[in-house]
Structure 1
Amino acid sequence: MIDTTHPAGTVSDLVDATDWAALTEEVDGYGSALTGRLLTPAQCHELAGLYDENERFRSTVDMGRHRFGSGRYRYFTHDLPEPVGELRQAFYPHLLPIARDWAGRLGRPAPWPDRLEEWLGMCHEAGQSKSAQILLCYGAGDWNALHRDVFGDLIFPLQVVIGLDAPGTDYTGGEFLMTEQRPRAQSRGSATLLPQGHGLVFTTRDRPVASRRGWSAAPMRHGVSTVRSGRRRTLGLVFHDAG
């Protein structure tokens, strides 16, 4: 039996070892897909423990104050902890072909260069110079309203959330929610429990769907259901910076 509690290899190795063909097919069909385990429980606890280190973050958002949920999240500074920077670097080249393919199907520009650093430089030149990497913390009764993470005109169409606590052990409830707006029909929803150390790749704003006129964009939003007990912490990886 393979030991998934302590995955072998670096974070980059584990991202590279993902079955990207299968993941791409699932993201195409549903707008989201789980990876295998990328972080050990010890790595998850270490990252979650950074939440109280104020110097790590540029700002803190109280969701209740802004009336889009309950709970808090913090934006890292550009001086990212090593696992966060490594994860972001590792994911980008694998997500890039999906992003370009979607842009082609939807007839949109595909401005994303091969290197993440070059893309972030383009964001900064356009006035989007703030770090958008997020550490989120939900307690019992907290939730996140359905939304999109669009911080400016330059957008990368996919992002990743990584579970830092174990569902059913550290918390209950707190499913990752997605809704898809369908033309002339009711919206379709999905709920995913995020295993500790695993990532969920999901669309930032929409996904291409086949229609009688070719391809069209199906708007999608994401959020978190109410945490019923315990504490749920996650790492959010966004591939465009904020304005």
Structure 2
Amino acid sequence: MIDTTHVADTRVGERVAAENWDALTAELDEYGHALTGPLLTPGVCRDIAALYDDTDRFRATVDMGRYRFGSGRYRYFTHELPDVVRELRAAFYPRLLPIARDWAEKLGKPAPWPGSLEEWVGMCHAAGQVKSAQILLRYGPGDWNALHRDVFGDMLFPLQVVIGLDAPGADFTGGEFIMTEQRPRAQSRGSSTTLPLGHGLVFTTRDRPVASKRGWSTAPMRHGVSTVRSGRRRTLGLVFHDAA
């Protein structure tokens, strides 16, 4: 039996900081998504995944089939986040903030994000977005997630992170993370990523800048999950804005 009150990893902040952020930034600028190295140990991944059955940890459960979002279920944490989830968000935000501001400048859009995550979340709450948007997802055989965006109101952070909690090829097959990008005056471009155990994928929440003949253009992006063919696929979703 694990202690579901505190799931922690004292080195997670160090691992996030130790990533090659120049390379990750370049990949995000080029493709709109970038895969990190291992951030969580297999044991911590198991502990986070096991929280799914502790219903008191969550404010809502969504059956994707019911809403025609795909097939499978996910749960939104309450604001009483497990320690490791809180640490991950706190570690990622200052690394993603320069990218968010750069993208906003290129697109000529406001960059309302302050230097601290706590202040930004306070701004979300003041605007009426008061619900936690941190997600624990679980897929079984035949489950999938339709292409979508995690936009919950006007207050939006342009990047988010998903972390794999199971090992592809061992715990499940299929279930690739997929993205589509609507290129300016061109056909859409698709991509797929196999998410390794404990690794994170940083990706575009809604749209990103792409170079064009006239400077910079907005490229809308959507994400989803391909059909899980066997086993069980669980992931942790880190969103840096709250929901209305």
Please state which band the TM-score falls in when normalised by the shorter chain. over 0.9
Q: 2: CA distance between counterparts of 1:184 and 1:154? A: 28
Work out whether residues 184 and 218 of structure 2, in 8 Å CA contact, stay in contact via their aligned partners in 1: no
Match of 2:135 in 1: 134
Q: 2: CA distance between counterparts of 1:173 and 1:28? A: 27
Q: 2: CA distance between counterparts of 1:214 and 1:227? A: 40
Q: Which runs of 5+ in 1 are unaligned?
A: 1-7
- SS of corresponding position for 2:243: coil
Report the Cα offset of residue 77 of structure 1: 0.2
Match of 1:194 in 2: 195
Report the Cα offset of residue 230 of structure 1: 0.2
Match of 2:147 in 1: 146
- SS of corresponding position for 2:81: coil
Corresponding residue pairs, total: 236
Q: 2: CA distance between counterparts of 1:225 and 1:235? A: 17
Q: What percent of counterpart residues are identical? A: 78
Work out whether residues 13 and 88 of structure 2, in 8 Å CA contact, stay in contact via their aligned partners in 1: yes
Q: 2: CA distance between counterparts of 1:65 and 1:181? A: 28
- SS of corresponding position for 2:104: helix
Q: 1: CA distance between counterparts of 2:140 and 2:24? A: 30
Q: 1: CA distance between counterparts of 2:200 and 2:226? A: 18
4+ residue runs of structure 1 moved beyond 3 angstroms?
none
Q: 2: CA distance between counterparts of 1:131 and 1:9? A: 23
Render the CA deviation track for 1:209-237: whole Å, top value 9, x for unaligned: 01111111101000000000000000000
Match of 1:181 in 2: 182
TM-score relative to the length of structure 1: 0.96
Partner AA of 1:184 in structure 2: R
The answer to whether residue 225 in structure 2 is matched with residue 230 in structure 1 is no
Q: 1: CA distance between counterparts of 2:39 and 2:64? A: 28
Partner AA of 2:155 in structure 1: L
- SS of corresponding position for 2:185: coil
State the Cα RMSD in Å. 0.9
Match of 1:18 in 2: 19
Q: 1: CA distance between counterparts of 2:101 and 2:156? A: 12
Match of 2:93 in 1: 92
Q: 1: CA distance between counterparts of 2:68 and 2:181? A: 22
TM-score relative to the length of structure 2: 0.96
Report the Cα offset of residue 9 of structure 1: 6.7
Render the CA deviation track for 1:170-225: whole Å, top value 9, x for unaligned: 00000000000112321100000000000000000111001111111101000000
Match of 1:27 in 2: 28
Render the CA deviation track for 1:148-187: whole Å, top value 9, x for unaligned: 0000000000000000000000000000000001123211
| 1:9–1:76 CA distance, 2 compared to 1 (3 A) | closer
Render the CA deviation track for 1:34-70: whole Å, top value 9, x for unaligned: 0100001000000000000010000000000000100
